[in-house]
Amino acid sequence: MNLAIIIDLAKNLLGLRNKYSGNTRLDGQVVVITGANRGIGKETAYQLSLRGAKIIIGCRDELRAENAIKEIVSLNPNANIIHIKLDLSSLQSIRAFVQQIYENETKIDLLINNAAIASDIEGKTEDGFELIFGTSHLGHYLLTLQLLPLLRKAPKARVINVSSLAYASGRIHFENINLRNGAFNMMAANSQSKLATLAKRLGANTTINAYSLHPGLVDTEWYRHIESPVVKFIAKNVTKMFAMSVERGTQTTLYCALEESLDSESGFYYDNCLLVDNMYANATDDKSAELLWQLSADLSNRRLDGQVVIITGANTGIGKETAYQLTLRGAKVIIGCRDELRAENAIKEIVFRNPNANIIHIKLDLSSLQSIRAFVQQIYENETKIDILVNNA
Ligand SMILES: NC(=O)c1ccc[n+]([C@@H]2O[C@H](COP(=O)([O-])OP(=O)(O)OC[C@H]3O[C@@H](n4cnc5c(N)ncnc54)[C@H](OP(=O)(O)O)[C@@H]3O)[C@@H](O)[C@H]2O)c1
């Protein structure tokens, strides 16, 4: 056990845990919290409901989510809280969740990426990624990326990643990200996923701030998926002996969500309601962060199911080939071309090569402002979002 963990546990034992004491209200704000049917996520949902926010909890199990909502409403009868099914170990489920959010919300003010799984059994996500990394990092990566347009619609938004001090003892296994061929163990997987969760890249001039945090050792049943009786016994008893209450363990999340002075900070890591400015070197290497971003984009974007793509000038050449390739990945493709007949022929050819292609044409002549406006109008009438715009013509 390293010194940082000993100090962390000592803070719990000595009661040296800070409490967020601000009175920021969230009336009119929309908050999305993942994995909020138990533990820190559920307490966060309850606490933020008390401040007037509309809360959307994304959980994988309908019944557990409904029970959590019942419990929160029994404590706060005014709670404005709903559930939308979200399984972070399925890229398709993430896309369906995002789709539902887009259909019902015009903005998101706070996204709290809280869900995680701790298991000593080597598992796989629906898309074949190592379960812990796939859920905690890759799932949240895709979720955040897809919700960015709605986060941008809020005057100021925050993305909060619930990470862990476990990051300190790990590294990102770029050479074997799924920890295959015997490389899997719970510690390596957990610390890799939590190190990855620290990645920050929202671009310059953004109205969205990003924070990550360590909640401390908290008295939840985080160890419930551990199968080794010995490891589970140790994890459970260390938690019972040293952990702080769930209410206390939610304070740093609340601090990152609510503290107004953080408006001027982004991309940092917090513990005990304080900024940590002496992070371990493994978490501050910009090259690794960039590499991880690229890898995550590659891994999560292999399929485009549920996504809408617009390609201009796609009745021939590179545009037509791009349209064909993207239909193969499951996207709905809209080609904008000036000539109806050439567009229809291109679609026939694409459908011949890919009978499952979901592809339509809307007339677009980029040399006419009026035609561009009519094209845009039709898109607005029929689509609720666009994921990719390829200006090819
Ligand atoms: N407790 C601690 O001591 C501690 C320490 C450091 C960091 N953390 C971090 O704090 C966060 C909350 O932890 P916790 O202690 O509250 O854990 P928890 O009680 O185990 O709660 C985890 C939540 O994540 C959900 N989840 C797991 N896999 C999911 C998936 N594929 N899709 C959607 N939701 C999924 C769980 O849902 P189910 O109920 O369906 O399983 C549950 O709601 C985690 O990120 C954890 O790593 C906790």
Each residue of 53-106: pLDDT tens digit?
999 999 999 999 999 999 999 999 999 999 999 999 999 899 999 999 999 999
CA gap 224, 211 in Å, rounded: 27
Cβ contact 246:195 at 8 Å = no
Q: What ligand 1 atom has the least distance to the C-alpha of 166?
A: 6
Q: Which CATH number does the domain housing residue 13 bear?
A: 3.40.50.720
Domain coverage including residue 153: 3-300
| 283 in the same domain as 323 | no
Using most ligand atoms within 8 A of CB, pick from 47, 60, 211 the residue to mutate for ligand 1: 60
Pocket of ligand 1 (CB under 6 A): 34-35, 37-41, 59-61, 64, 86-89, 114-117, 135, 162, 164, 214-215, 217-218, 220-222
Of 245, 276, 300, the residue that ends a domain is 300
The domain boundary, picked from 266, 300, 334, lies at 300
The reply to whether 172 and 263 lie within a common domain is yes
- 314 and 280 both lie in a single domain: no
**pLDDT-derived band of residue 352, with 50, 70 and 90 as boundaries?**
very high
What end-to-end distance do the CA atoms of the chain give, in Å? 59
Do 278 and 313 lie in a common domain? no
65 with 181, same domain: the answer is yes
Cα 88 to ligand 1 centre (Å): 11
Does one domain contain both 313 and 275?
no
Residues 256 and 359 in one domain: no
pLDDT at 301: 73
| Domain count within the chain | 2
Note the pLDDT of residue 1.
Answer: 58
Q: Which of 7-11, 236-240, 304-308 has the highest mean pLDDT?
A: 236-240
Nearest CA to ligand 1 atom 46: 116
**Residue among 114, 165, 238 whose CB has most ligand 1 atoms within 8 A, to mutate:** 114
313 shares a domain with 291: no
| Sequence-distant (≥ 6) Cβ neighbours of residue 338 within 8 angstroms | 363, 364, 365, 366, 367, 371
- For the CA of 58, the nearest atom of ligand 1: 33
- Please identify, among 300, 320, 349, the residue that sits at the C-terminal boundary of a domain: 300
What are the residues whose beta carbons fall under 8 Å from the beta carbon of 86, sequence distance 6 or more? Answer: 34, 58, 59, 60, 93, 94, 97, 143
Does residue 283 sit in the same domain as residue 370?
no
Instruction: Looking at the structure, tell me whether residues 153 and 10 fall in a common domain.
Output: yes
